[in-house]
Structure 1
Amino acid sequence: MSGKMSSLLKQIISSYPHPEKVKIKDITKVGKMIDSLVSRGPESLQVITDFDFTLSKSHLPDGSPACSGPGVMNNSSLMSQDFRDKVNALYKKYRPIEFDHNMPVEQKIPLMVEWYQQRKNVVVASRVQRSQIEEMVTSCGVVLRDGAPKTLAWLNEEKVPVLIFSAGNGDIIEAVMKRDGVMFDNAHVIANFYKYDDEGFVIDYKNSTLLHVFNKNEHAIENSTYFEDISHRPNALLLGDHLADARMAEGMQDPETIFKIGFFNDPSQVEESLSLYEETFDVVLVEDQTFEFVNILLKFIFGRN
C-alpha cells in the first residue's frame, strides 16, 4: 500500500476481520473515493456486479471448487454424458483463450462469441426444457458468498439499483436468486437468456447481441428504461472477479466515483496475476469467500455503522 490512509478507510479495514486479505495499491486515492461514496449516500449510488464467483462463491469451506452458473447444467444428472463431454471440450478449447493475458481483447471477442454459440447449439441439440433448468437449480452447488444475501437485502431496503451482469445464462441466475429469496425488485439481471418454443424447449438465445466477458457493460442497457432510471446516480460500487469485470461501468452516464472491488479467487495465480488485479481494481480481496468488506463499506454509506 502507498499513500496516506483516511480515517474512514482505517475504520473499514479495522472492522474487517481479515485485513491481511485486503490489497490496495493507492490508499490515498481509495480513501478519497470512499469519502465521496459516503458523503453522497445511497441516493447517488448504483451497484454493478458480476454473478459467477463474485456474488457466488468460488470455493466451498472444504476447499473444493464451487459450482458456477454454467456448471448447473454441466453437473446435473438430467443431462447426458454426451452433453458433458461436448461442453467440457469447448471449455478446454476456449477457456485458456479468455485468460490469455498476451492475446489482445479484439482477437478474443470473436472466439468468445464462437464459444457461446457452440455451447448453445449443444444445449438446443440436447432438448433442454425450461422446467428442467428450474429443477437443476434446486439441487445445484451454486452458493452465494457469505453475507451476499444481506447485501442484496440492504440494497433493496435503501432502493439502490443493482445491475447483475453475466456472460452466463440469465435463466439460471434468476432461478438461483429466486431460490435464495434475493431476486428483489431493485435487481436487474443482464445476461444471455434462452428463447423457448411453445413446448418449453430451448431453441436459441433471446438477446440479439451475445454478452461475453469482454462486452458486459452499461452500453448493453443504453436504450432501456432502467438506464434512464439510474442516470441520476453518479456513484457506482463495482464488484467482479475477472479483470474484464472492471469495465462493467463503461457506458455509465456522467460518473463521479466508480469504486471497484475485485475478488482474487485463485491463490495459485498470485505471482502471475495479483499485481494486475491491484492495477485494475481499487481494492482487491484475496481468497475471501464473503461479502464482509462490502457490507462494512455499505454500513458507512447507509449510515448504519
Structure 2
Amino acid sequence: MQALHLWTLLSTYAVAVGQNQGQKNQECPKLNAQMPEFQKKTVHIKDPGRVEEIICGLIKGGAAKLQIITDFDMTLSRFSYNGKRCPTCHNIIDNSKLITEECRKKLLQLKETYYAIEIDPALTIEEKYPYMVEWYNKSHALLIEQGLQKDKFAEVVRESDVMLKEGYENFFDKLSEHNIPVFIFSAGIGDILEEVIHQAGVYHSNVKVVSNFMDFDENGILKGFKGELIHVYNKHDGALKNTEYFKQLKDNSNIILLGDSQGDLSMADGVANVEHILKIGYLNDKVDELLEKYMDSYDIVLVKDESLEVANSILQKIL
C-alpha cells in the first residue's frame, strides 16, 4: 500500500507540474504507468511524499543533470545467492588459493570479530570508527605478508562466487549510453573491484572507481596500499578529497546514491551544488534491529533485495 500511495502521489504531482509549467516538464506524467518494482515487499519508504518530489525533480532534470554515486560490495554486488553468502572484494582474496591456510584463518578471525562491531545497532558510527581502522590495517598487513601476485587476480575473480545484482547490465549499459557519470566509492580492494566489473563487461568509460588500491613492486608483487585507507565509516573524508572530480560535474546537481551502510550516506558530501538527491539503501543483515534506522536515513530501503530493479525503474523514467 505504501508504494502504491507513492505512485498515486507522483501521478497527481506530475499532472499538476505539467499543467502549471507547460511543455518543458512533460516527462513527469509518464509516472502514471504502473511500476511493479515499487510494489515488492522488499521496498520500504518512510515518506512517500518526499520521495515523490525528489523523483519528479530527477525526471525534470533529465540526463544532463544526473550523476550516480554508489557503494560496491553488497550494493552493486550481491549479499547472497540461493541462501549462500557472496564474497566482498576482500573476501575474494581471503577465499582464494593466493593465501595460505594459516593466513585465511587469521583473516576469518578478524572478520568474525570486527563484522559484528560494524553492524552492531547499539554502537554509533564514532564508536565503530577505530575498530574499522584496526580491522582494515590488520587485514591489509596479512595480505602484504603473503606477497600477492597481481597477474593472478583475473583468475581469482573468475573462480570466485562474486555476483553482481540482477539487472546490472541494464543499469550500467543505460548509464553508459547516456554518458551519466558513475562514481563507485568502495571500502573494498580497488584492483579486485575493477576486475569484477571488467569481467562482467560493464567497466565503461563513464565509470570512476575510488577504493583501496594495491601498490606493487616491479615484479608485480604486493608491497603495500596506495593513499589513505578507505573504510566503511570514513567515506565523508574520502568524498571531500574528491571535490575536484565533483567540481568537473558542477552541472550534474541531481544524484542517485546507492549504499548498504550508514557510512555510505556521506558519499555525496564532496558535491557542492546538490539540487535533488535520492538515497537508496540496501539492508542485508540484522533487518529487525536496523530497519527503522535505515528508513530514517535512506529515502528508499530495499530489504534483502538482490536486484537493481528499483534503480533501473527510476532511470527508465529519467532517461
TM-score normalised over the length of structure 2: 0.88
Listed one character per residue, the Cα deviations across residues 39-70 of structure 1 (whole Å, up to 9, x for unaligned) are 0101111101110111011111x221112211
Listed one character per residue, the Cα deviations across residues 211-246 of structure 1 (whole Å, up to 9, x for unaligned) are 111122421312x4x233222211100011112212
| Cα displacement (A) at 1:85 | 0.7
Highest CA radius of gyration, 1 or 2? Answer: 2
- Corresponding position of 2:216: 196
| Cα displacement (A) at 1:292 | 1.1
Closer, same or farther: CA 20–92 of 1 in aligned 2, 3 Å: closer
Task: State whether residues 13 and 19 of structure 1, in contact with CA within 8 Å, keep that contact through their aligned partners in structure 2.
Answer: no
Task: State whether residues 238 and 258 of structure 1, in contact with CA within 8 Å, keep that contact through their aligned partners in structure 2.
Answer: yes
Matches within 5 A, 1:91-240: 91-207=111-227, 209-217=228-236, 218-222=239-243, 224=244, 226-240=245-259
- Corresponding position of 1:16: 37
* % identity of equivalent residues: 35
Closer, same or farther: CA 12–259 of 1 in aligned 2, 3 Å: farther
- Corresponding position of 2:92: 72
Is 1:298–2:315 an aligned residue pair?
Answer: yes
Is 1:261–2:280 an aligned residue pair?
Answer: yes
| Cα displacement (A) at 1:18 | 4.8
State the secondary structure of the residue aligned to 2:74: helix
- Corresponding position of 2:25: none
| Cα displacement (A) at 1:17 | 7.2
Is 1:6–2:16 an aligned residue pair?
Answer: no
| Cα displacement (A) at 1:10 | 6.5
The correspondence for 1:42, drawn from 49, 57, 63, is 63
State the secondary structure of the residue aligned to 2:75: helix
State the secondary structure of the residue aligned to 1:204: strand
Is 1:55–2:76 an aligned residue pair?
Answer: yes
What letter is aligned with 2:140?
Answer: K
Closer, same or farther: CA 147–12 of 1 in aligned 2, 3 Å: farther
Is 1:83–2:100 an aligned residue pair?
Answer: no
Q: Which structure 1 residue ranges, 5 or more long, are not aligned? A: none
State the secondary structure of the residue aligned to 2:314: helix
- Corresponding position of 1:270: 287
State the secondary structure of the residue aligned to 2:232: coil
Q: Which moved more, 1:104-113 or 1:51-60?
A: 104-113
Task: State whether residues 214 and 226 of structure 2, in contact with CA within 8 Å, keep that contact through their aligned partners in structure 1.
Answer: yes
TM-score normalised over the length of structure 1: 0.91
| Cα displacement (A) at 1:11 | 4.7
- Corresponding position of 2:298: 281
What letter is aligned with 1:34?
Answer: I
Q: What is the aligned residue count?
A: 296
What letter is aligned with 1:115?
Answer: W
Closer, same or farther: CA 103–97 of 1 in aligned 2, 3 Å: same
Q: Which moved more, 1:173-182 or 1:3-12?
A: 3-12
Task: State whether residues 65 and 252 of structure 2, in contact with CA within 8 Å, keep that contact through their aligned partners in structure 1.
Answer: yes
Q: Which structure 2 residue ranges, 5 or more long, are not aligned? A: 12-27
Task: Give the distance between the partners of 2:156 and 2:251, measured in 1 at CA.
Answer: 39
Query: CA RMSD, aligned part only?
Result: 1.9
Task: Give the distance between the partners of 2:60 and 2:272, measured in 1 at CA.
Answer: 20
